[in-house]
């Protein structure tokens, strides 16, 4: 497997692969479909065998437990994957409402290999190995598939001769530019899905009731009028995630805190880039600044994705 400048270019223009930390939960049984239909925000019954979709697993109050991808392997077997560290919360939340339901919920000791780029062709399920899953990934300009395998499993065990090994910093830059939110950065148990732009890709408004639906539906009916929104950020230099963003004050006014930086990365294409939450009323084109690693850095709020689809 060839090496290049960290694999960044291949993530968008060729094919790149890297080991990706994901938690995988399996739900099986004769009532697995019915149960998940009442727990997830997407229409699980509409998923064909071998199909996948983004979805939300919510608290009863409507805040986030996990942003997940749901994959249906058969009529009564489903897999939910999310960021590493979220699996235990997913299992606990699913078991909480499973009384007298013929479905089993378990977290698997599996690992994920991510393959990205326009030359990445998702293998057919039968070709993905014993017990393994090959699941498509699509998010803006960042596309490909993920191969989930029982641990232990390493990237160098795969036959991907044309792929570039992407380093972590290259993928992080691509993730930020694509606007793909991550638990522990943009997402946590306080997140309202509309704030992070998850509703459009992860919610069905025609499927019927599910746990946590009320808040999602109420906010959507009010035009997604939430207190903050997730945006991209172009920066003059690096900042520390969690740093407060300030808007330039008017004359004789105190400095105004308007948001916070959630992720930052160096992009070979765009320079320093970030993801941030800013308060309602601010948006693309607004100038902000923050205390960076080497002093004050300036930034400009941008719409997501920072890299256009098809770039």
Domain membership of residue 260 as a residue range:
228-302
CA atoms within 13 A on the CB side of 298: 5
The b/e string for 192-218 (b: 16+ C-beta within 10 A; e otherwise) is bbbbbbbbeebbbeebeebbbbebbee
**Residue 252 binned pLDDT confidence (cut-offs 50, 70, 90):** low
Please report whether residue 308 resides in a domain.
Answer: no
Residue 183, Cβ neighbours under 10 Å: how many?
20
Please report whether residue 311 resides in a domain.
Answer: no
pLDDT tens, residue by residue, 109-128: 999 999 999 998 888 764 44
Please report whether residue 246 resides in a domain.
Answer: yes
The CATH number of whichever domain residue 279 belongs to comes to 2.40.30.110
Please report whether residue 170 resides in a domain.
Answer: yes
Q: Are residues 121 and 242 in the same domain?
A: no
Instruction: Return the pLDDT at 154.
Output: 77
Does pTM top 0.85 for this prediction?
yes
pLDDT tens, residue by residue, 21-35: 999 999 999 999 999
Q: Are strands 271-279 and 256-267 parallel, antiparallel or unpaired?
A: antiparallel
Instruction: Return the pLDDT at 125.
Output: 60
pLDDT tens, residue by residue, 278-304: 999 999 999 999 987 777 899 999 999
The CATH number of whichever domain residue 19 belongs to comes to 3.30.1360.120
SS3 82: strand
Q: Are residues 232 and 169 in the same domain?
A: no
Residue 99, Cβ neighbours under 10 Å: how many?
6
Q: Are residues 68 and 174 in the same domain?
A: yes
Please report whether residue 214 resides in a domain.
Answer: no
Domain count, the chain: 2
Q: How many Å apart are CA 232 and CA 262, to the nearest integer?
A: 10
Cα–Cα distances (Å) from 128 to 83, 135, 147, 157, 227, in that order, read 22, 10, 7, 13, 44
Residue 153 scores a pLDDT above 80: no
Share of the chain above pLDDT 90, in %: 78
CA atoms within 13 A on the CB side of 26: 16
Q: Are residues 169 and 102 in the same domain?
A: yes
H or E stretch at 279? strand 271-279
Q: Are residues 152 and 245 in the same domain?
A: no
Q: Are residues 59 and 146 in the same domain?
A: yes
Please report whether residue 184 resides in a domain.
Answer: no
Please report whether residue 209 resides in a domain.
Answer: no
């Amino acid at each position: 497997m060839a090496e290049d400048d960290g694999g960044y270019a291949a993530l968008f223009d060729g094919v790149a692969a890297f080991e990706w930390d994901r938690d995988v939960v399996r739900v099986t049984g004769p009532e697995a479909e019915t149960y998940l239909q009442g727990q997830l925000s997407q229409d699980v019954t509409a998923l064909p065998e071998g199909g996948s979709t983004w979805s939300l697993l919510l608290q009863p109050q409507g805040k986030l437990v996990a942003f997940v991808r749901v994959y249906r392997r058969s009529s009564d077997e489903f897999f939910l994957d999310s960021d590493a560290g979220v699996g235990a919360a997913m299992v606990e939340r699913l078991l909480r409402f499973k009384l007298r339901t013929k479905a089993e919920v378990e977290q698997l000791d599996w690992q994920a290999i991510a393959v990205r780029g326009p030359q990445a062709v998702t293998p057919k399920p039968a070709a993905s190995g014993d017990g393994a899953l090959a699941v498509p990934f699509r998010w803006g300009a960042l596309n490909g598939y993920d191969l989930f395998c029982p641990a232990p499993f390493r990237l160098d065990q795969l036959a991907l001769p044309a792929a570039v090994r992407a380093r972590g910093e290259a993928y992080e830059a691509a993730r930020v530019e694509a606007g793909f939110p991550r638990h522990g950065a943009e997402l946590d148990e306080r997140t309202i899905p509309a704030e992070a732009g998850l509703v459009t890709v992860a919610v069905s408004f025609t499927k019927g009731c599910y746990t946590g639906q009320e808040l999602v539906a109420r906010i959507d009916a009010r035009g997604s009028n939430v207190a903050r929104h997730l945006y991209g950020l172009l920066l003059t230099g690096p900042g520390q995630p969690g740093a407060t963003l300030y808007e330039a004050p008017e004359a004789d006014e105190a400095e105004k805190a308007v948001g916070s930086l959630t992720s930052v990365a160096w992009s070979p294409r765009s320079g320093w880039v970030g993801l941030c939450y800013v308060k309602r009323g601010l948006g693309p084109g607004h100038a902000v600044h923050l205390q960076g690693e080497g002093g004050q850095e300036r930034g400009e709020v941008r719409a997501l994705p920072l890299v256009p689809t098809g770039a």
